[in-house]
Amino acid sequence: MLKVIELKRTVTDSNDRDAALLRGELKERGIFLINLMSAPGSGKTTLLSRTITDLAGEAAIGVMEADIASDVDAARIKALGAESIQVHTDGMCHMDAGMTRAGLEGMEDRPGIVFLENIGNLICPAEFDTGAHKNVMILSVPEGDDKPLKYPLMFTKSDALVITKTDTLPYFDFDIEKAASRAKALNPDIAVFPVSAKTGEGMRAWEDWLISSRGEWNDA
C-alpha cells in the first residue's frame, strides 16, 4: 500500500535552526538528503526514475514526494521497487524543515540517498531550508533559457542545475550555453548537467556527481 502523509501547516520562525538540526541528525543516520526543486512538469519524477534504475546496486535510493494533492508521482517511483512515500502539504507551496522531518518519519531508517521531490514551484521552495545536504534544481528545455533572469533565487540556492528533456532541443528555442552562463552569473559554483532521461544522454555525469557528492559528505 502506498504511504500518504497529510501534513499540517506549521508556523515557525526558527526554520533555519530546525533545518540545521535535521541536517545533523540525518548525517548521524547516514541519510544523504537531496532537495529537488523545479517548476511543474519539468520532469522531476522521470529524472528520478531513470536515476534509480541506473544506480541500482550502487546506492539505496528513497524518494519522498511532496504534492498538494494526488499520489501519481509516488506510485510511479514505487513501481520501480524503490522506497517511496507521498506527503501532502495542506495547500502549502513549499516544504520546510519541520514538514521534511515529519515526512521522513514515515520512511525506513536506513543509510542511503533520499530525494525530497519538492512542490512544483520555482519561487517559494527556494525560500525555505528543508534540512537537505544538497539543493538541486531542474530546468526543462521547453521552459526556456530565460528562467535564471526571472527566478534568480532558485538558481542562487542550488548546488546543481539539471537541464532536462534535451532530446527536445530541436523543437524549442533553448540555448544550453546561455542558460548555463545565466545560472553561473547568479551562482558561479553551480554544477550544470544537461540530460535526457528518455535517451539517457548526459545521465552518467549527473549520477557521478550524486555519488561523489555523497562520498565527500560521508567523509566530511
- Chain residues binding a copy of itself by CB under 8 A are 39-41, 67-70, 72-73, 91, 93, 119-124, 127, 140, 142-144, 146-147, 149-153, 165, 167-168, 171-172
**Bridge partner residues of 139 (DSSP):** 163
Distance CA 218, CA 46 (A): 27
Minimum gap (Å) between residue 167 Cβ and a copy of itself: 8
Q: Which amino acid is at 2?
A: L
Closer to a copy of itself by Cβ: residue 166 or 213? 166
Residue 143 per-residue DSSP state: G
Local structure of 56: helix, strand or coil: coil
Cβ atoms of 203 and 163 within 8 Å: the answer is no
Closer to a copy of itself by Cβ: residue 140 or 213? 140
Closer to a copy of itself by Cβ: residue 112 or 142? 142
Q: In what order do the strands lie in the sheet with 3-6?
A: 3-6, 83-88, 61-67, 112-120, 31-38, 134-140, 160-164, 191-194
Closer to a copy of itself by Cβ: residue 19 or 137? 137
Minimum gap (Å) between residue 172 Cβ and a copy of itself: 8
Q: Which amino acid is at 218?
A: N
Closer to a copy of itself by Cβ: residue 105 or 127? 127
User: How many CA atoms within 13 Å lie on the side-chain side of 151?
Assistant: 23
